[in-house]
Amino acid sequence: MTLASAQVEVYLQVSETLSLERELQDSEKWQAWFQIWASQVMTESGCYELTLRLTDSAEIQALNQQYRQIDRPTDVLSFAATEVAWPDMTPEIVDAEEPLYLGDIVISLEVAQVQAREQGHSLSVELAWLACHGFLHLLGWDHPDQTSLEAMVQQQKQCLEQIGLWLGPGSEFSR
């Protein structure tokens, strides 16, 4: 597979209800991470945009209820802006004059904090893991069965390694 030179612009939003370390609000860091992931997984050149929103459990629970009819908080939600799966995008879609908006990734900081503790790694690692998971969903990845889930988890591990992060020894995915 030949990887392309995709440019991804990330718009970071942090809910006003959150108290978040400055490092995790660094939009340049998020930008760099997504750019590295894009160079690893995207096969088409072009310019792309996405929004990453860090929020609280109440907001993500409301979104989870509204869009998935599940009335509880979750760790990450992805809202793809296009129904076309990656890499099946036609050249007309990718080569447009304007950047292609991939969609929105929403992460609950509160759920991420709990999961980071349970998995034995830092909050930065957990947020990167969830953001990468959401990014892959925006690109059309899914995990309806165990084989698909294992492939997606493997890709997430590779993406984290590319930015110098590793899952904790207690992580269910570290094996």
Radius of gyration (Cα) for the chain, nearest Å? 16
Q: Where does the pLDDT of residue 90 fall: very low under 50, low under 70, confident under 90, or very high at 90 and above?
A: low
Domain contains 115: yes
3-state secondary structure of 95: coil
Does some domain include residue 30?
yes
Q: Considering all CA atoms of the chain, what is the largest pairwise distance in Å, rounded to the nearest integer?
A: 46
State the residue range of the domain holding 28.
6-162
Say if 169 falls within a structural domain. no
Flag whether 173 is in a domain: no
Interstrand relation of 6-14 and 76-80 (parallel, antiparallel or unpaired): unpaired
The number of domains in the chain is 1
Of 1-10, 73-82, 107-116, the range with the lowest mean pLDDT is 1-10
pTM of the model: 0.88
10 located within any domain: yes
Average of per-residue pLDDT values in the chain = 88
Q: Tokens representing 165?
A: 């992060």
Look at residue 87 and give its three-state secondary structure.
Answer: coil
- Would you say residue 168 lies in a domain? no
Is 172 inside a domain boundary?
no
Task: With beta carbons less than 8 A apart as the criterion, state whether 100 and 46 touch.
Answer: yes
CATH of the domain at 152: 3.40.390.30
Question: What's the pLDDT tens digit per position in 13-60?
Answer: 999 988 878 888 899 999 999 999 999 998 878 899 999 999 999 999
